[in-house]
A and B are shown apart, each in its own frame.
Chain A
Amino acid sequence: MTAVARLGRSLPTRDGVRRSLRGAVAGLVALAGVVAVWEGYKWMGGHTDDHWPGTSFGLPVRTNDLVMPHANEIWGSLWDPVQRGRSQTLAGFLFQSARFTFSEAALGFVIGTIIGLALAVLMLRFSTAERGLMPWINISQTVPLIALAPIIVTWGRGTALSDTQAVSIIATYLTFFPVAVNALQGLQSPDQADLELMRSYASPWRHTLWKLRVPAARPYLFPAFKLAATLSVVGAIVGEISAGVKGGLGRAVLNFATIYSTGPEKLYASVLAAALLGLFVFALVSIVERFVDRNQIHNSNGSSGAGA
């Protein structure tokens, strides 16, 4: 909750291209770092029989090829057939699964965002709604998703909902929260003086909302949308696993976990695919943000103004 609330405070820097380049470079460096640590740890364990060097303390994770396959093996497995006798590669299979999960997550994200915004406006308009709803909104996120997902799936089966739609609802459940909390904070962010200005113009409530509160909330909204997008992927994967839905990354992770002993690299590859999907939805929202803000290049070059 506090982490989410704090998100809104960071104003987006709008130095588009340079920022995405920097992001890409940072991503590559991070990936290289992970590979280096992985391989370094594995190399060390191989030389010390899985002990910390010079001690009798065992390493927390064993380093044999079954537990920790080489990074290049994980990479290589992507281009092997997903199953003996099938022409589809593991990469192709994971891509297809990611698309499936993406469509569930996207639906969950859209519905969750709409619900989150609607709740924020409701709480803004009626302070009784804020007092009444906020505790429930907070409590909602303390229920572990793992416990909740099967319930949603079971309820869904009692209605016309398909299991994939139930998965989207699970994604919705994670998504609406950061949107509601940050949107409310953003809508409440205008100064008293700005609100009084609108009052002096006899501005009706809805005009104050559109012309003052919503634009003022924008720096709070996009960080929430980004978080919500990645959470929608988490929700969809957990939901798929709980509901036993076939076709997505959740099922892929589950399947490869059961055949772990014959192909550990496939499990790692599917986890990697899940992470990439999370990054992808994050990037999508960032692109939309840049598009929305392209005419709003904020300060930092305010030198065009002269003296009074």
Chain B
Amino acid sequence: MKMSDSAIVATGIGKTFNGNTDNAVVALDGIDLTVEPGEFVSLIGPSGCGKSTMLRVFGDLISPTEGTVEVFGKSAAQARLDRDYGMAFQKAGLFDWRKVSANIELPLELAGWSKDRRSYRSAEMLSLVKLQEFADHYPWQLSGGMQQRVAIARALSFEPKLLLMDEPFGALDEMTREHMQVELLRIYEQLGTTVVFVTHSIPEAAFLSDRVVVLSPRPGRIHSIIDVDLGKRDENTRESAEFFAMTTEVREALRSVEAMS
């Protein structure tokens, strides 16, 4: 059946915080979204429009008040228990008391991998994010961009089928950020995972995505979905006419969202 082939099928998702109280917030309303395996989908929209909430519902960190989420044909809760998710947030969230390699091995430990397999994999992941020499460093000895690469290596170490990222490059300077975007695409293409990526950066969404989902706030709804096809991307892509056209399209969608609210 078509449904269970999809990575995510969200149907009629609604999320109300503090329901039945005076400060109830309708964060999401009537969200229908399907993400296909191998797709890179960005969520963009003004701050507070429910991007993080949507990602957290997909990842079973919170449950929706309405609607259902199916992930690879299972409930989101089952997908989480099956360790289908890799997650990365704006804050790298590395554990200070663990060396870089041990941070990457954390999910592997929890999944019961043997010591040998773990260290083999963490070495592999470190070379994937080009931080081989930093295996024995502590997180606080690394720059923000390097920490974020470790966090991505950790999120991918156990080959999760679905990568959920919430503004992972939000705290980085522009040059580092662009560099990280290229790295992420390289890894994504190499591993063939599915990615849902929250951002509030128009060029970032346009550069990375197969599809950009534009959200409107209060309550969070899907305003429009923009297909992007920039083909193989590298640093030159950012100066191409196609890229310029895509950012313009996303920007105009966001402007009409702002005009509505």
Contact = CB atoms under 8 A, between A and B. Distances in A.
A38 B2 CA distance: 89
Contacts of A193: 89, 91, 93
Nearest to A218: B97
Nearest to A197: B93
| Most A-side CB within 10 Å, residue of B97, B143, B180 | B97
B93 A191 contact: yes
Interface in B40-87: 56, 59, 61, 80-83, 85-87
B179 interface: yes
B137 interface: yes
A216 B83 CA distance: 24
B168 to A, nearest CB: 12
Contacts of A216: 97
Contact of B61 (A200, A211, A296): A200
Contact of B143 (A196, A197, A202, A305): A305
A232 B54 CA distance: 52
A157 B89 CA distance: 60
A308 B176 contact: yes
A151 interface: no
A207 B111 CA distance: 11
B83 A211 contact: no
A201 B107 contact: yes
Interface in B102-157: 106-107, 109-111, 134, 137, 140-146, 149
Contacts of B143: 305-308
B83 A202 contact: yes
A194 B93 contact: yes
B95 interface: yes
A135 interface: no
A200 B140 contact: no
Interface of A: 191, 193-194, 196-203, 207, 211-212, 215-216, 218, 296, 298-299, 302, 304-308
25 contacts: A191-B91, A193-B89, A193-B93, A194-B93, A196-B56, A196-B87, A198-B110, A201-B110, A201-B111, A202-B80, A203-B110, A207-B110, A211-B109, A211-B110, A215-B97, A216-B97, A296-B97, A305-B141, A305-B143, A306-B146, A307-B143, A307-B145, A308-B143, A308-B144, A308-B149
